[in-house]
């Protein structure tokens, strides 16, 4: 098992079987203390977002990918609760429409990247295009490799033009997914989330895991690193994502802009 | 002076001073015959666009760049007159808005690339971002080189995902521009086109030419070649652009799709 570091080292070969799905190595046993830490993190994230927006210089792109039920929606809800919605936009990428398929696969994501001062969260992303078609055999090995390179080029350009990128793979075990699907099936208030297609995708678990191993190996770069976040425990998952985003934003060395000269002496009538 | 070939060989160093601005080497002296040829070309372009649309497989991106008055608008009007507007979209890129500047410079162009079966014409383009800021000193040499590479990566991705790209630099002489600006100034019906800024840009003629030399050298690739089109003579310019687009579309080996099975026997009630 890997140590506490969640970051996929650029150029390394990932086998998700070697990575924790439980969060024990990352958070303590004291649940109340962990929840208090998450509250503190939210406050800090809110401050940093305000500074990001005020300075209007940097952009933060957060990419979330995961197997079904790993908690992408829930992570967004818990980590970004309290952050000004004006400065955070979530873009959901589902099955591409006929219209979208008539374009290159980066066409539908590019309009949603963050502007200066913004945080954008991709709830699924262009990475779906090296997952579903790969598993279904719609694209072969060579095309998949080509897409990795195209994605790396695209993200490098975004990074070079002022966007900080953090990508999170929310990592759950097959057993944990079973429990969550059963809960959806058996809990009246959760049943609407249960899609017949979920089981078909679960049946391809090993194929998707192999596709994730390959994409995490190929597309974790210095400019746009992947983090494998243990997600069997929701609180640990949220704490890890918060901490990594705070670290990324603090690394930008942001400052509030200077007031316009003369403003200080302007009478308020 | 270069021979009849207008294509910038990938990897070659361009000096526009070596390229024709007059079209004499490309079209004959018989003006009536040339005009008849342009009519024929329009019919052929219309047929090819219909086939492109019907097959719904390929995409054609046409990029037009030029010094002021070289005739980008006029080229679009004359070459595409008669082509179904449903299958051709023109995207104009002016001075970036404040909102656009809050994104990477490819963000505003990507949504306008052609869908399958479409022709898109960029009237100015992402190449403005290696012209104006370079000449004005807003970006240095290293950043400019980086943008060339980013643009090549972007266009390579478009090409690999099914887009045929042809880029045209409409090449006029400084004398011809003088004549056209004078005509705008002195012709009441053309005067609205005369912008005070035009003269400031003309004063930077040598800087813009150097910027074009550099970009044509750096971004003419096998997948997205530049053509330097002599544009002092409007008819020659239009004939050359038409011929190159027809050649590009004919190279796609397109076919009308097969009718759906059973359609032949379906009674029309």
Instruction: Over range B78-89, report the average pLDDT.
Output: 84
Question: How are beta strands A119-123 and A163-171 bridged, if at all?
Answer: unpaired
| Per-residue pLDDT reduced to its tens digit, A23-79 | 887 777 888 999 999 999 999 999 999 999 999 999 999 999 999 999 999 999 899
Q: What is the per-residue DSSP string for A104-132?
A: -TTTTTGGGSPPTT-EEEEES-GGGGGTH
With a cut of 60, say whether residue B266 has pLDDT above it.
Answer: no
Q: What secondary structure does DSSP assign to B112-177, as a single string?
A: GSPPTT-EEEEES-GGGGGTHHHHTTSS-HHHHHHHHHHHHHHHHHHHHTTEEEEEEEEE--HHHH
pLDDT score recorded for residue B23: 85
Q: How far is A150 from chain B (nearest CA, A)?
A: 6
Q: Which fold does the domain B16-253 belong to in CATH?
A: Rossmann fold (3.40.50)
The residues on A that touch B, with CB distances below 8 Å, are 56, 99, 102-107, 110-111, 113, 115-118, 146, 150, 153-154, 156-158, 160-163
Instruction: Find, among A200, A240, A244, the residue nearest to A225 by Cα.
Output: A244
The pLDDT tens digits for A119-135 are 999 999 999 999 999 99
Nearest CA in chain B to A152: B153
Q: What is the pLDDT of residue B1?
A: 37
Q: Which of B99, B116, B161 sits opposite A105 (nearest CB)?
A: B161
Q: Looking at residue B264, what is its pLDDT?
A: 59
For residue A196, the model assigns a pLDDT of: 72
Residue A76, token pair as written in the block: 């967004």
Q: What is the pLDDT of residues B17-35, one digit of tens each?
A: 999 999 887 777 788 999 9
pLDDT given for residue B149 in this prediction: 98
Least confident of A76-85, A145-154, B94-103, B250-259: A76-85
* CA closest to B150 among chain A residues: A157
What's residue B216's pLDDT? Answer: 98
Q: Which residues of B touch A104 (CB under 8 A)?
A: 113, 157-158, 161-163
Judge whether residue A265 has pLDDT over 80: no
Q: Taking the domains of chain A in order of start, what are their residue ranges?
A: 16-255
Which band of pLDDT confidence, cut at 50, 70 and 90, is reported for residue B198? confident
pLDDT at A149 over 80: yes
ipTM value for the complex: 0.75
Residues in CB range of A227: below 8 A, 6 or more apart: A6, A7, A8, A166, A167, A168, A169, A240, A244
Best residue of A53, A87, A98, A110 to probe chain B, by most B CBs closer than 10 Å: A110
Answer whether B107 sits within 8 Å of A117, measured CB to CB.
Answer: no
Structure-model confidence comparison of residues B173 and B77, the more confident one: B173
pLDDT at res. B263 = 59
Q: Is A106 in Cβ contact with B157 (below 8 Å)?
A: yes
State phi, psi for A262 to the nearest 5 degrees.
90, -15
The whole-chain average pLDDT of chain B stands at 91
CATH number among 3.40.1160.10, 2.40.420.20, 3.40.50.300, 3.40.50.970, domain A16-255: 3.40.50.300
pLDDT of residue B3 exceeding 60, the answer is no
Question: Residue A1 — very low, low, confident or very high, per pLDDT cuts 50/70/90?
Answer: very low
Task: Give the model confidence (pLDDT) of A197-210 as tens digits.
Answer: 788 899 999 999 99
Which residues in A lie closer than 8 A to residue B107 (C-beta atoms)?
A: 110-111, 113
Given this model, what pLDDT does residue B2 score?
Answer: 43
pLDDT band at B268 (very low <50, low <70, confident <90, very high): low
Q: How many C-beta neighbours within 10 Å does residue B53 have?
A: 18
Q: What would the pLDDT profile of A172-205 be if each residue is shown by its tens digit?
A: 999 999 999 988 888 877 777 777 778 889 999 9
Q: From the list A146, A150, A161, which residue is nearest B104 (CB)? A: A161
Query: In the predicted model, what is the mean pLDDT of residues B122-136?
Result: 97
**Distance between CA atoms of residues A177 and A172, nearest Å:** 7
């Amino acid at each position: 098992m890997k140590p506490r570091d969640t970051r996929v080292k650029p150029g390394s070969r990932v086998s998700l079987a070697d990575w924790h799905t439980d969060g024990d190595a990352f958070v303590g046993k004291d649940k109340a203390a962990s929840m208090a830490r998450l509250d503190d993190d939210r406050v800090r994230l809110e401050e940093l977002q305000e500074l990001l927006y005020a300075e209007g210089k940097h952009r933060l792109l957060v990419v979330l990918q995961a197997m079904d039920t790993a908690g992408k929606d829930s992570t967004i809800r818990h980590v970004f609760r309290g952050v000004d919605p004006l400065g955070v936009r979530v873009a959901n990428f589902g099955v591409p429409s006929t219209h979208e398929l008539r374009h290159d696969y980066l066409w539908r994501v590019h309009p949603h990247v963050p502007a200066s001062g913004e945080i954008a969260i991709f709830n699924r992303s262009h990475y779906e295009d090296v997952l579903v078609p790969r598993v279904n055999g719609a694209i072969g090995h060579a095309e998949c490799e080509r897409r990795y390179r195209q994605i790396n080029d695209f993200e490098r350009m975004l990074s070079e033009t002022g966007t900080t990128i953090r990508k999170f793979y929310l990592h759950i075990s097959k057993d944990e997914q079973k429990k969550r699907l059963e809960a959806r099936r058996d809990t009246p208030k959760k049943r609407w989330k249960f899609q017949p297609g979920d089981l078909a995708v679960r049946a391809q678990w090993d194929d998707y895991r192999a596709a994730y191993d390959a994409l995490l190996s190929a597309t974790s770069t210095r400019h746009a690193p992947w983090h494998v976040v243990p997600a069997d425990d929701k609180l640990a998952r949220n704490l890890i994502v918060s901490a990594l985003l705070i670290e990324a934003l603090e690394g930008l060395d942001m400052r509030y802009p200077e007031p316009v000269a003369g403003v200080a002496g302007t009478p308020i009538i």
